Amino acid sequence: MNVLIVEDEKSLAHEIAGFLRSENILCETASTGREASEKIAVNLYDFILLDIGLPDYNGLDLLREARRNNSDASFIIITARGAVEDKVKGLDLGADDYLAKPFALVELLSRINAVARRKFNIRDSDISLGRFEMKVQARKLTCDNNEVDLTKKEFDLLHYLVLNHGKVLTRQQLYEHIWGNILDDQYDSNFIDVHIKNLRKKLNAHAPSPWLETVRGVGYRISITE
């Protein structure tokens, strides 16, 4: 999961980012609306945590902009403002949830997970893939109760594909979700192909995995989750 934290209180942004990273969530921060706008315009995010009260930008305007440029992202408003109208405006503009400061970091994580469950229609933390079982909380993949030895990145890559089952994900989307923003002078689309090849090799050592499909010229897709 790739998260952008838009928060002008740098100490709070650092605290949130550190906590989410400890939960295996990829994070970036932006302390101004302009910085956030620039990042949102060129990068893909799964979640945007947005403080409405930015010093240089109307947070609701930024939410509108972010919805246009990151249409697949989920949004949680984090703000000290307690007025009901601010909450209503944010939700009407497409925010998925609202969290008033001060808040506990574990509550923020719980809200993120709850939004993700609704977004991806997840009913429990274990996901079946034929003979494979993905145990999300334990970060393990098993086949007929035997654990498949995956690296952290391989697990994250497979999990993201599973969450978006039936949807073709481009190499760029996969790269940005797992490794962060693409730098033009460093990005190599073959990088994802190599990781998918290694992942398939490990899966097929346990059981066939035809559900992990290559969509030629585009990217990859999980065809079933049964």
Q: What is the pLDDT of residues 39-59, one digit of tens each?
A: 998 888 889 999 888 888 888
Strands ordered across the beta sheet of 219-222: 169-170, 219-222, 212-215
The answer on pLDDT for 185 being more than 50 is: no
Q: What is the pLDDT of residues 113-127, one digit of tens each?
A: 888 878 776 655 688
The answer on pLDDT for 181 being more than 70 is: no
10 Å Cβ neighbour count for 25?
A: 17
> Alpha-carbon Rg of the chain, whole angstroms?
18
What pLDDT is recorded for position 34? 92
The answer to whether 28 touches 39, Cβ cutoff 8 Å, is yes
What pLDDT is recorded for position 30? 94
CATH number of 126-222: 1.10.10.10
Q: In the numeric block, which tokens belong to residue 101?
A: 């400061």
Model's pTM, two decimal places? 0.69
What pLDDT is recorded for position 82? 61
Helix, strand or coil for residue 30? strand
H helical segments located in the chain: 10-22, 33-42, 59-69, 84-92, 105-120, 152-163, 171-179, 190-204
Q: What is the pLDDT of residues 158-168, one digit of tens each?
A: 988 988 888 89
The answer on pLDDT for 2 being more than 60 is: yes
Enter the DSSP assignment of 53.
B
Q: Where in the chain is the domain with CATH 3.40.50.2300?
A: 2-120
What pLDDT is recorded for position 130? 85
Q: What burial class does residue 177 get, using C-beta atoms within 10 Å of its C-beta: 0-12 exposed, 13-18 middle, 19+ buried?
A: buried
Work out the pLDDT band at 189, boundaries 50, 70, 90. low
Q: Where in the chain is the domain with CATH 1.10.10.10?
A: 126-222
Give the containing element (helix H, strand E) for 82. Answer: none
Between helices 59-69 and 33-42, what is the axis angle to 10°?
A: 10
- Average per-residue pLDDT for the chain: 85
Task: Give the mean model confidence (pLDDT) for residues 196-216.
Answer: 93
Q: Of 3.30.565.10, 3.40.50.2300, 3.40.50.1370, 1.10.3720.10, which CATH number belongs to 2-120?
A: 3.40.50.2300
Q: What is the pLDDT of residues 63-113, one digit of tens each?
A: 998 888 888 889 998 877 666 677 778 888 888 988 888 888 999 998 988
What pLDDT is recorded for position 4? 94
